[in-house]
Structures are given as C-alpha cells and as structure tokens.
C-alpha cells in the first residue's frame, strides 16, 4: 500500500505524457524532414521530395556553405530582417501599450466608439487597404525605405486590443496610489504599470516579432533595392525561370527559423501567463 501511495506516476499522467510525446513527434517531423532535405542536392529533392530518408551518401553541408560563401546576399537579407523586426517589435509594443493603457484606464468622450473602430480595423484584411496604404507611402516618401515597412503597422489593432484587455484586469487602485504619491501620468505608466505588463509584453513581443520576421507581401511592395530586401523576399528570389535552387532555398529557410526559436526561448516563461491574462476581463 505504501508503494502505491508514493508512486509518482498514475495512469492519467502516463497517458498524458504519451499524448504529449506523440504531439511533439508530429510537430517536429516536418522540421526534421526540411532539415534532412537541406542536406541533399536539388536534383534529389525534385526526385524524392521531402521525407525522412537518411541516405548519407548524398548528404552534405554544401548548401549551407554556398549561403556562407558570399555568392548570395543571404547575410544582407538576414541583417535587414533582424533590423526591421527589432525596430518594429519595439515600436509596436510601446505605441500599442500606450493606446491600450488609455482605453483601459481613462474615461473620455467617444471612448467606446473609438475602441469599436479598433475592432473593425482588426477585421479588415490587409489586401483591402494595401492600395491606399501604398499610395500614402508614396506621398510621404517612404518607398524603398525601412521605415516604409515599419511605420504603417506600428499601431496594430490586435496589440492594442490585447493590451487593453490585459490592463483592464489590473486594479485601478495602483493608479490612484501613484497619483496620491504625486506621480505624473507618464510616471504612473513607466514606474507602476510597465513592470506589471512584462507577461503581456513577452507574449505580444513573440507574436509581433514572428509576424514581422515572416512578413513577405508588404516589404516586397515597398522595398526595391537589392541591398534592402528582407529574408523572405531574398529567398523567394532564388526561384527563377532560369533555375530553381530549392536546395539553397530550403537551407536558407532552416536558418531563418533560428531567430524565432531564440525569441520564444527567451520569453517562454512569460508567454502562457501573458496570453492567459489577456482575456481576463472584457
């Protein structure tokens, strides 16, 4: 009886562990398949497709060496994507948190109407506003500039909605105490509210960073110079009517996943807490 009481594993826990292992294998299989394909020549990829075949006789790191050789602008694309992702993530989190804070903590005229506009904008597809947004970008002179990719999406409706929901769950007593102590409105935000928003910043930072890193359509429209292309556009340029470099494309795609994985690993401890707290109060 004592052995049964001290047993660490029960039937439900074992079944749950098996389920998680199966889900992990299913999730990792495509990544393993792509990595193995990046080690094979392009002809073999076209002949066999993606798979889990371990034919070591044809596997090598030639595709990665080609990327690092300088014959492609891979490092330039990589650098541009990192710069755009970093700037856009920081600006989006800062501006959207400010707007969400205003909606959550202040009462002003047309507040509900303005927040309804945010929800409506969140439901409009990018393809509908692409043409007027492109015309506006031309008028203000941001074509073929990095800020032309970043600025139109700094005040994103989804981050604003997320921060508003998160901050609505924070008691207003914190704000009142700060005002009693003589803290300014900006001081309340930066000294009191901002430390409480770490889980929300981490969760939304992962979301915004991944979207910016994988963004293809809008940077392709705005950027024209070869030295300003981002990684998705540069990798897409490897596929031409004169030759399909699928082997190099897949190798570059494997490396492009690394920053996203690092971003998630750095903020994973806040991710679940932030996403859960975002829907506490409507």
Domain boundary among 10, 31, 60: 60
Contact 149, 224 (CB under 8 A): no
Q: Please indicate, yes or no, whether residues 132 and 104 belong to a single structural domain of this protein.
A: yes
pTM of structure: 0.81
Question: Do 53 and 88 share a structural domain?
Answer: no
Contact 42, 246 (CB under 8 A): yes
Cβ atoms 235, 77 nearer than 8 A: yes
81 and 162, same domain (yes or no) = yes
| CATH assignment of the domain containing 81 | 1.10.3720.10
Q: What is the mean pLDDT of the chain?
A: 83
* pLDDT given for residue 150 in this prediction: 92
Asked whether 146 and 81 are in contact (CB, 8 A), the reply is no
- The reply to whether 210 falls in a domain is yes
Q: Which of 60, 92, 109 is the last residue of a domain?
A: 60
Strands (E) in the chain, as ranges, are 239-240, 243-244
Asked if the structure places residue 188 within a domain, the reply is yes
* One domain, residues 71 and 36: no
- Per residue in 217-274, pLDDT (tens digit) is 899 999 988 888 899 988 887 776 555 677 788 888 888 888 888 877 877 776 666 5
Number of independent structural domains in the chain: 2
> Comparing C-alpha atoms, which of 192, 162, 170, 168 is closest to residue 179?
192
pLDDT at 8: 62
Distance CA 77, CA 14 (A): 46
Residue corresponding to tokens 């935000």: 189
Same domain, 51 and 99: no
Query: Degrees (nearest 5) of the Cα angle 216, 220, 225?
Result: 135
Environment class of residue 196 by beta-carbon count within 10 Å: exposed (0-12), middle (13-18) or buried (19+)? middle
235 and 97 housed in the same domain: yes
Last residue of a domain, one of 15, 45, 60: 60
Residues 228 and 109 occupy one common structural domain = yes
User: CA angle at residue 276 from 271 to 280, to 5 degrees?
Assistant: 145
Asked if residue 282 belongs to a domain, the reply is no
What would the pLDDT profile of 167-186 be if each residue is shown by its tens digit?
888 888 878 888 888 888 88
Determine phi and psi for 243, rounding to 5 degrees.
175, 135
Supply the pLDDT for residue 149: 92
CA quadruple 267, 269, 274, 275: dihedral sign: positive
Q: Kindly state the percentage of the chain with pLDDT values over 90.
A: 20
Query: 79 is written with which tokens?
Result: 């650098």
Q: Which two tokens stand for residue 27?
A: 């999730």
Q: Which of 254, 153, 253, 128 is nearest to 207 (CA)?
A: 153
Q: Which domain holds residue 28?
A: 2-60
Q: Is the domain of 204 the same as that of 252?
A: yes
Instruction: Examine the pLDDT at 192 and tell me if it is beyond 90.
Output: no
Residue 147 CA to residue 144 CA, distance in Å, equals: 9
The answer to whether residues 6 and 35 belong to one domain is yes
The verdict on residue 95 lying in a domain is: yes
Residue 109 shares a structural domain with residue 158: yes
Residue-wise pLDDT for 53-79, tens only, equals: 777 777 888 888 888 777 778 888 899
Residue 54 and residue 85 share a domain = no
Instruction: Identify whether residues 32 and 129 lie together within a single domain.
Output: no
């Amino acid at each position: 009886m004592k052995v049964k009481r001290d047993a660490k594993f029960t039937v439900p826990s074992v079944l749950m562990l098996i389920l998680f292992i199966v889900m992990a294998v299913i999730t990792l299989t495509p990544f393993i398949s792509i990595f193995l394909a990046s080690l094979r020549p392009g002809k073999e990829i076209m002949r066999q497709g993606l798979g889990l075949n371990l034919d070591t006789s044809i596997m090598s790191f030639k595709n990665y060496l080609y990327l690092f050789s300088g014959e492609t602008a891979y490092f330039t694309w990589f650098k541009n994507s990192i710069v755009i992702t970093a700037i856009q993530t920081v600006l989006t989190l800062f501006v959207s948190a400010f707007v969400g804070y205003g909606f959550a903590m202040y009462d002003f005229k047309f507040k509900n109407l303005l927040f309804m506009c945010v929800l409506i904008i969140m439901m409009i597809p990018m393809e509908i506003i692409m043409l007027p947004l492109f015309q506006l970008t031309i008028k203000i002179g941001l074509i073929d500039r990095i800020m032309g990719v970043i600025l139109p999406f700094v005040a994103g409706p989804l981050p604003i909605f997320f921060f508003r929901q998160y901050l609505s769950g924070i008691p207003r007593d914190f704000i009142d105490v700060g005002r009693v102590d003589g803290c300014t409105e900006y001081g309340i935000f930066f000294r009191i509210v901002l430390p409480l928003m770490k889980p929300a910043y981490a969760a939304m930072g992962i979301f915004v960073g991944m979207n910016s890193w994988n963004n293809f359509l809008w940077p392709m429209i705005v950027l024209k110079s070869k030295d300003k292309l981002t990684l998705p556009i540069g990798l897409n340029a490897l596929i031409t009517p004169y030759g399909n470099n699928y082997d190099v494309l897949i190798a570059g795609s494997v490396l492009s996943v690394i920053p996203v994985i690092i971003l998630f690993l750095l903020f994973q401890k806040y991710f679940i807490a932030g996403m859960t707290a975002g829907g506490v109060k409507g």
